[in-house]
Structure 1
Amino acid sequence: MSFEEEAVPDGGRAPEPEGRAVPEPSGVDLARVALRAAKERARERGAEAQQKKQARRGGGLRSGARRDGRDPLPLGTAVQRLVTERGWETPTAVGGVMGRWPQIVGADIAQHCEPQHFDEAERVLGVRCDSTAWATQLRLLAPRLVARLNEDLGHGTVRALRVRGPEAPRRSPGPLRAPGSKGPGDTYG
Structure 2
Amino acid sequence: MSGSEGSPKTPEPSGVDLARVALRAAKEAARARGDAAQQKSQARRGGGLRSGARRDGRDPMALGSAINRLITERGWETPAAVGGVMGRWPQIVGDDLARRCVPERYDEDERVLHVRCDSTAWATNLRLLAPQLVARLNEDLGHGTVQLLKVHGPGGSAHRYGPLRAPGSTGPGDTYG
Taking structure 2 as the reference length, what is the TM-score of the superposition?
0.60
Give the drift of 1:101: 0.2
Distance in 1 (alpha carbons) for counterparts of 2:87 and 2:54 = 36
C-alpha separation between the residues in 1 aligned to 2:80 and 2:158? 32
Q: Tell me which amino acid in the other structure corresponds to 1:159.
A: Q
Q: Which residue is 2:78 aligned to?
A: 90
Q: 1:125-144 counterparts in 2 under 5 A?
A: 125-144=113-132
1:167 to 144, 151, 155: 155
Pair 1:185 & 2:163 matched:
yes
Q: Which residue of 2 aligns with 1:153?
A: 141
Higher RCO structure (Cα 8 Å, ≥6 apart): 2
Cα separation, 1, equivalents of 2:90 and 2:67? 26
Following superposition, the deviation at residue 67 of structure 1 comes to 6.5
- Look up the SS of the partner of 1:185 in the other structure: coil
User: How far apart are the structure 1 equivalents of 2:60 and 2:154?
Assistant: 49
State the secondary structure of the residue aligned to 1:110.
helix
Q: Deviations over 1:132-160 (max 9, x none)?
A: 00000000000000000001000000001
Moved over 6 A (4+): none
CA distance in 2, matches of 1:67, 1:159: 44
- Relative distance call for 1:126 and 1:183 in structure 2 (3 A) is same
Distance apart, 1:68 and its partner CA: 2.5
Q: Which one-letter code corresponds to 1:94 in the other structure?
A: V
Q: Distance in 1 between matches of 2:63 and 2:162?
A: 56
Question: How many residues end up aligned between the 2 structures?
Answer: 114
Q: Higher Cα Rg: structure 1 or 2?
A: 1
Q: Give the root-mean-square deviation of aligned CA atoms.
A: 2.0
Give % identity: 66
Question: What does residue 11 of structure 2 align with?
Answer: none
Amino acid aligned to 1:107 = D
Aligned AA for 2:83?
G
Q: 1:77: how far off?
A: 0.2
CA shift, 1:64, in A, is 4.2
How far 1:71 moved relative to its partner?
Answer: 1.7
Residue equivalent to 1:40: none
Where in structure 2 are the equivalents of 1:56-75 lying within 5 Å?
Answer: 64=38, 68-69=55-56, 70-75=58-63
Gaps of 5+ in 2: 1-36, 40-52, 165-177
What 5-or-longer segments of structure 1 have no aligned partner? 1-62, 172-181
Cα deviations by residue, 1:97-123 (Å, 9 ceiling, x for unpaired): 100000000000000000001011110
**Cα gap change, 1:112/1:71 in structure 2, threshold over 3 Å: closer, same or farther?**
same
